[in-house]
Amino acid sequence: MSAMKKWASILVSVLLICSLAACGGGAANSGSSQNSPSSSDSGSQAVSSGEKKKLTVWYIDTGKRKELIEETIQEFMKAHPDVEVAAEQIANDTYKTKLPVAMGGNNPPDIFHSWGGGWLKEFVDAGQVMDVTGKIDADSYLPAALNLATFDGKLYGAPLAMSLTLFFYNKEMFEQYGLEPPKTYDDLLNIIDTLNANGIAPISMANKTKWPGALWLIYLANRVGGADIFNAAFERRGGTFDDPAFIKAGEMIQELVDRNAFVTGFNGLDYDTGQSRQFLYTGKAAMELQTSGYLTVVRSEMPEFESKMGIFGFPAVEGGLGKATDLVGGVSPVFSISSQTKYPDEAVELLKALTSKELAQRYVDEAGVVVAVKDVQYNDPFAIQMKEFLEQAEFLQPFYDQTLPPEMAELHKDTTQALFGKSITPEEAARQMEEAAQSMLGN
Amino acid sequence: MAGDAARIRRQNKLGKGLFLLFFIGPALLIYAVYNIYPIFATFYYSLFDWTGIQAEKTFLGLENYANLMKDRVFFRSLGNNVLLVFASVFTQIPLGLALALLLQSKIKGMRFFRTVYFLPFLMSTVAIAILWMFIYNPTFGVLNGLLSDLGLQSLQRSWLGEKSTAMGAVIATICWQFVPFYMILLRAGLTGIPEELLEAARIDGCTPWRTFTRITLPLLMPTIITSATLSTIGSLKYFDLIFVMTEGGPDSATELMATYMYKQAFRFFSMGYASAISSCMFILAFIAAVAILSLDRLRSRGGY
């Protein structure tokens, strides 16, 4: 018995030592590979000629967009017979966990998806992302989209598609009650009252994941406080997150809740399983503020609804500084290259293919989205409308949670959900945001 | 001669040890690499300021733990965990026992019910979570529909959307998921009770209740203790169902230590801090397990 115990303990300690040593080796490796982006040319030639150069791509686009990305990669491999591309599509929420783990484990994909902004910046700051300034043609992308992948004047990726936040509404229902898309915020309030009087929930929302509600705060803050309200606070040049405009936006949200503007129990409903769209499909609610991905989802989920559906922009608030044409939006995907890639030249080529005009054109034609690539023809009626919104816009406000550092982004979404749930006052929400900003962004 | 015998015996022993090692080895290796090593690694990481995505770590000592002691969200999630532990131990096990006893009785079609009762445990947690999200849906859900059919509109709630009901709603789902597990465990315990004892009690004129309190329950105690240990540790580490159903919301009302740890690690990129939370979870679960087991030892010494 005692011999066995001894053996077991020896074995365990050997195992522990082995695994510790393995970990140490990994860390040492990462240190040396950090230098690889600078010596980009030597890497690709070092490989023996017989072997294929292997690149991995991680992306999250689904449905039609997934097919188009796959086709693009097939074409790329035909054009580059010496390169083998392994592309993996990963579900959105899984991806947010999987990429940090892969980066931390020094086993990142060569090309990876992001939304630009604060999330990408975490990886840039960690030295995990290759600087592609000058390697790709910045002039072929919309500047507003490119901004989200630019840090300290250096470019860390290229954008493909964009998403805009708009109201999606039931046209037939609006006609039935003699309603017009609102020009002003007061119009919107009147629409809400009319619909409520007719027993229809005015606005559907599934706010379990918190970002759908955040869209309201971002728009209201923009309409009340003007285009610069967020950037002034974020860049710490005179603005603050407890600015009266943010407080006013919080108050307006709570007034909407008091007015019964939203469907019951919205804070517990799940967007991904369609719990908000259900209200529109079944004629129980009239409209929903969502990103342009809504269209893709409706087309695959309930194609019959598309003919009834219309879109309008967020109305202007009387006396507010923001313009009715300003848009809230974001970029997805932004493709970036890992600084640890063994084949930087090929990776840049693939990056260009994944954000090319050709692919963008097919995204527009076949998936009905707006893209971040210039000189693309729009034919899909919804895409044309969205493109017009984009063209009229003098200012595109990126989603706060994609711009702020992750911890503040979460606080922003938490406090906004609490505002909707009326478990926090607008003043308190603003104070918490400003306090976090002071500790994380400086005074 | 005697020395030879001892040598042979020693060799035999060694041979036996190697033989056992041969069989245990692979499993032990996997266990060590994926369970034991990560536990120590977590303690190690918790001493650093580390994003988890870069190679450099900054040594902090115990600062992560000091911050944790000041963290209100952590204590709220700890409170929720404690609530979940009590709710689990005091509903899952009694209900599981009731069902197990029911299945013991000789009612027609019991085999069918046994399967039905066990079904929830066979479903994947994510499926259960989504199923119950639909049940709790305030507008389309079965629960509110049932309440309105019964004329109890005043009791209708947006179950997962309100801070006051969200935790209760989630706990009810967790109990629904795990009662079948304890049912099976306790049923196995019940079958282990010798038939003669029960028969003797019956012949002596014991009422069913007395038989239950004096014979069944004491003999079932080891199984109940095991169940309580499993339930407590499981509740302290609980993650998946809550994460799918509420993501810890609304407004942190259903935040657990594990969901908070996940947020810190993968949303905020504070791997060091998340490791500190994780270490605390380990220590708490360890203490709870030791406490229950030593109580059990006291009890069995007490002469049951």
Q: How far apart are the first and last CA of chain A?
A: 66
Residues of B in contact with A211 (CB under 8 A): none
Asked if the Cβ–Cβ distance from A12 to B32 is below 8 Å, we say yes
Cα–Cα distance measured from residue A334 to residue A161, given in angstroms and rounded to the nearest whole number: 8
Q: What is the ipTM of this complex?
A: 0.74
When scoring B35, B43, B54 by the number of chain A Cβ atoms within 10 A, the one with the most, hence best to mutate, is B54
Does B120 sit behind a cis peptide bond, omega within 30 degrees of 0 on the bond before it?
Answer: no
Stretch 125-164 of chain A: residues touching chain B, C-beta under 8 Å: 125-128
**Surface of A (4-63) touching B: CB under 8 A:** 4, 7-8, 11-12, 15-16, 19-20, 23, 27, 30-31, 34
Tell me whether residue B54 is in a domain: no
Inside any domain, residue A405: yes
Domain count, chain B: 2
For A202-206, A222-226, B67-71, B249-253, which range has the lowest pLDDT when averaged over its residues?
B249-253
Task: Give percent of chain A above pLDDT 90.
Answer: 63
* Contact (CB<8Å) B138/A265: yes
B99 & B164 share domain: yes
> From CA A30, how far away is CA A338, in angstroms rounded?
13
Question: What is the per-residue pLDDT for A41?
Answer: 41
Tell me what pLDDT residue B11 has.
Answer: 77
The reported pLDDT for the residue numbered A76 is 95
Considering only the beta carbons, identify the residue of A3, A263, A268 that sits closest to B136.
Answer: A268
Domain assignment present for A391: no
pLDDT for residue A34 is more than 70: no
Alpha carbons B89 and B235: distance in angstroms, whole number: 9
Strand-pairing partners, residue A56, are A86
CB A223 within 8 A of CB A314: yes
In chain A, what residues touch B263 (CB-CB under 8 Å)?
A: 410
The answer on A177 and A154 residing in a single domain is: no
Asked if B246 lies within 8 A of A266 by C-beta distance, the reply is no
In terms of domains, do A193 and A308 share one? yes
B206 belongs to a structural domain: yes
Query: Residue B265: which CATH number?
Result: 1.10.3720.10
A121 and A260 housed in the same domain: no
Query: How does pLDDT run across A245-273, given as a tens digit for each residue?
Result: 999 999 999 999 999 999 998 998 989 88
Distance in angstroms (rounded) separating the CA atoms of residues B5 and A168 = 89
Cβ–Cβ below 8 Å for A268 and B37: no
Are A316 and A302 within one domain? Answer: yes
What confidence tier does A29 reach under pLDDT thresholds 50, 70, 90?
Answer: very low
Backbone angles phi, psi at B3, to 5 degrees: -60, -40
| CA–CA dist A257, A419 (Å, integer) | 9
Residues A82, A216, single domain; the answer is no
Is B166 in Cβ contact with A264 (below 8 Å)?
no
pLDDT for the residue A148: 86
Q: Are B149 and B282 within one domain? A: yes
Point out which residues pair with A291 in neighbouring strands.
A165
**Does the distance separating the beta carbons of A30 and B41 come in below 8 Å?**
no
Determine what percent of chain A is predicted with pLDDT higher than 70.
89
Contacts of B209 (CB under 8 A, 6+ apart): none
3-state secondary structure at position B59: strand
A212 and A309 fall within a common domain: yes
Among A185, A183, A182, smallest CA distance to A224 is for A185
What's the pLDDT at B303? 53
- Asked whether residue A144 is domain-assigned, the answer is yes
Per-chain mean pLDDT for chain A: 87
Q: Decide if A8 is inside a domain.
A: no
* Alpha-carbon span B215 to B303, nearest angstrom: 14
Tell me B212's DSSP state: I
Same-domain check for residues B229 and B147:
yes
Distance CA B239, CA A311 (A): 39
d(CA B243, CA B128): 12
Backbone angles phi, psi at B161, to 5 degrees: -95, -15
Neighbours of B291 (CB within 10 A): 12
d(CA A353, CA A367): 18
Structural domain includes residue B57: no
Phi, psi of A430 (to 5 degrees): -65, -40
Q: B128 and B201: one domain?
A: yes
Overall domain count for chain A: 2
List B residues 54-93 in contact with A (Cβ-Cβ < 8 A): 54-55
- For residues A191 and A130, membership in a common domain is answered with no
Contact B161 A421 (CB under 8 A): yes
Bridge partners of residue A150, in order along the sequence: A155
Question: Does B207 share its domain with B289?
Answer: yes
Domain containing residue A200: CATH number = 3.40.190.10
Subunit contact A7:B36, Cβ cutoff 8 A: no
pLDDT of residue B7: 79
**Given this model, what pLDDT does residue A10 score?**
53
Same domain? A180 vs A154: no
In this structure, are A81 and A151 located in the same domain?
yes
CA distance A148 to A400: 12
pLDDT value of position A140: 92
CA A298 to chain centre: 19
Query: Under an 8 A CB cutoff, do A3 and B40 touch?
Result: no
Asked whether the beta carbons of residue B158 and residue A268 sit closer than 8 angstroms, the reply is: yes
> How far apart are the C-alpha atoms of B194 and B216, rounded to whole Å?
10
User: Which residue segment(s) compose the domain that A282 sits in?
Assistant: 165-328+399-440
Please give the residue of chain A at the shortest CA–CA distance from B52: A104
Q: Are residues A267 and A412 in the same domain?
A: yes
Give me the domain span that covers residue B206.
63-301
Judge: A15–B140 Cβ closer than 8 Å, yes or no. Answer: no
B20 with B138, same domain?
A: no
List the 396-425 stretch of A: residues with Cβ below 8 A of B. Answer: 406-407, 410, 414, 417-418, 421, 423-424
Asked if the C-beta of B27 comes within 8 angstroms of chain A's C-beta atoms, the answer is no
Same domain, A233 and A284: yes
pLDDT digits (tens), chain B, 304 positions: 556 777 777 777 788 888 888 888 899 999 999 999 999 999 999 999 988 877 788 898 899 999 999 998 899 999 999 999 999 999 999 999 999 988 887 778 888 888 888 888 888 999 999 999 999 998 888 999 999 899 888 888 888 988 889 999 999 999 999 999 999 999 999 988 888 888 888 888 888 888 888 888 989 988 998 899 999 999 999 999 999 998 887 888 899 999 999 989 888 888 999 999 999 999 999 999 899 888 888 877 765 4
Split at pLDDT 50, 70, 90, the class of A436 is very high
B158 to chain A, closest Cα gap in Å: 4
Nearest to B51 among A27, A122, A284 (CB): A122
Q: Are residues B106 and B255 in the same domain?
A: yes
Q: Are B179 and B98 in contact (CB under 8 A)?
A: no
Q: Are residues B5 and B90 in the same domain?
A: no
The rounded distance, in Å, linking the Cα atoms of A181 and A183 is 7
Examine the domain organization and report whether B18 and B76 are in the same domain. Answer: no
Predicted confidence at residue A241, as pLDDT, reads: 96
Same domain for B182 and B281, yes or no, is yes
Residue A100 to residue B53, Cβ atoms within 8 A? yes
CB contact under 8 Å between B251 and A421, yes or no, is yes
In a domain, A129, yes or no: yes
- Together in a domain, B99 and B155: yes
> Is residue A378 in a domain?
no
Domain presence at residue A205: yes
**Spatial contact of B281 and B237, defined as CB atoms under 8 Å apart:** yes
A122 vs B53, B161, B247: nearest CB: B53
Return the structure tokens found at B48: 């650093």
Q: What is the pLDDT of residue B2?
A: 58
Are A203 and A263 in contact by the 8 Å Cβ rule? The answer is yes
Q: How far apart are the CA of B8 and the nearest CA of chain A, in angstroms?
A: 15
User: What pLDDT score was predicted for residue A355?
Assistant: 95
CA angle A30, A31, A34 (to 5 degrees): 85
* Residue A314 domain-assigned (yes or no): yes
Secondary structure E strands in A360-425? 370-371, 396-398
CB nearest to B37's CB, from A4, A19, A269: A19
Residues of B in contact with A3 (CB under 8 A): 13-14, 17
A298 pLDDT above the threshold of 70: yes
Instruction: Let me know whether B176 and B221 are in one domain.
Output: yes
Best mutation site among B45, B251, B252, B261 for testing chain A: the one with the most A CBs within 10 Å?
A: B251
Distance CA A238, CA A185 (A): 28
Same structural domain for residues A321 and A338?
A: no
> Which of B 39-58 lie inside 8 A of A, CB atoms?
40-41, 51-55
